[in-house]
Amino acid sequence: MSLAYTLKESISGFTRTRLSSIISVMTISISLLFLGMFAIATVHTTRFIDVLRSKVELEAFLVEGISGSDLKEIRRKISAVDGIQDISFVSKDEAARIFQTEFGEDIFEVLEFNPLPASFRISLKDGFKTSVKALEASSRIEDIKGVETVRYRKELLEIIDTRAASVNNLTLGLGVIISLSAVFLVSNTIRLAIYAKRNTIRTMQLVGATRGFIRVPFLLEGILQGVLGGMVASVVLYSLLEYAMKLVSVDFSDAIHRDPYFYLAILGAGGLLGLIGGTISVARFIRTAVAS
């Protein structure tokens, strides 16, 4: 198969259905523009959620009068619990100092004695900072002899999990809808190109042209539409982000900035959408067009 012929046929199909092709390119570019914005928003939302999760710690309060050897044994057993990343001991005196720092009151002036228990502050590994995993770890730690109770921000983790799931579902749903609309437009444009060349396709089949020889130009046409749409989306998104960077502080501008791989991914996504649309159209409509 001649590469020059294939490219020529692909471009001729693009120009023959010029209006439909332009609509497809614009639809893909708008779709990828929204997908790019959703990707950026999702990345920052995920980072914000991870920051909130990192603030959540378990605190295991110990029974009164526990000995040094018991402390070592409790620490060892806590370390053996799945998902534990780090453990730090907080003595009764340290707890009193923390109370004074946070509330501005000396616990000894308020009560004349220190009722605050010693405790272990426990941080979890990244994969365990969810409400379910934290509850499992908390339950196992509470079963350890010498641990009176375990406290952590359970409600916050539950809210984070719920919001994270909602954001992921919304992003996935919108991404699927936008992508399907782009694929449909490309498929429809390729279908029009196939119908316009139905007599040529019939002649090529009669002289023994292979299925691949007939189909490849239409697939390349779909990829061409997708890549052009990706180029338009990349240019528009780059311009918008560069403008936005001028309106915010340096800290926020670093978060807005995207490296070149991001825009290459948009081009690749455009080509993929075009290929999928072209494949669907070729598979469904070549035989119908020739038969009509």
57-101: per-residue pLDDT in tens? 888 888 887 777 888 888 899 888 888 888 888 887 787 777 667
Indicate whether 164 and 275 sit together in one domain: yes
Mean pLDDT, the chain, rounded, equals: 77
CA nearest to 223, candidates 178, 136, 281: 281
**pLDDT beyond 70 at 266:** yes
**pLDDT beyond 70 at 11:** no
Indicate whether 124 and 201 sit together in one domain: no
Residue % of the chain over a pLDDT of 90: 1
Indicate whether 31 and 95 sit together in one domain: no
Indicate whether 165 and 46 sit together in one domain: yes
pLDDT interval class at 281 (50, 70, 90): confident
Query: Domains in the chain: how many in total?
Result: 2
Indicate whether 170 and 285 sit together in one domain: yes
pLDDT of residue 50: 79
**pLDDT beyond 60 at 10:** no
**pLDDT beyond 60 at 290:** no
Indicate whether 90 and 214 sit together in one domain: no
Indicate whether 113 and 63 sit together in one domain: yes
Indicate whether 138 and 37 sit together in one domain: no
**pLDDT beyond 80 at 145:** yes
pTM for this predicted structure = 0.62
Boundary (domain end) residue, out of 152, 183, 218: 152
175-229: per-residue pLDDT in tens? 788 778 777 777 777 676 666 666 666 666 666 666 666 677 777 777 888 888 8
pLDDT of residue 106: 65
Indicate whether 134 and 71 sit together in one domain: yes
What CATH number has the domain bearing residue 69? 3.30.70.3040
Higher pLDDT, 54 or 106: 54
Indicate whether 41 and 164 sit together in one domain: yes
Sign for the pseudo-dihedral over CA of 142, 145, 148, 152: negative
Indicate whether 72 and 183 sit together in one domain: no
Boundary (domain end) residue, out of 152, 176, 193: 152
pLDDT of residue 272: 85
Higher pLDDT, 48 or 202: 48
Range of the domain at 144: 57-152
Indicate whether 40 and 91 sit together in one domain: no
pLDDT interval class at 230 (50, 70, 90): confident
Higher pLDDT, 162 or 211: 162
Boundary (domain end) residue, out of 110, 131, 152: 152
pLDDT of residue 130: 84
Residue % of the chain over a pLDDT of 70: 72
DSSP conformation class of 17: T
Higher pLDDT, 218 or 26: 26
Across residues 134-143, what is the average pLDDT? Answer: 90
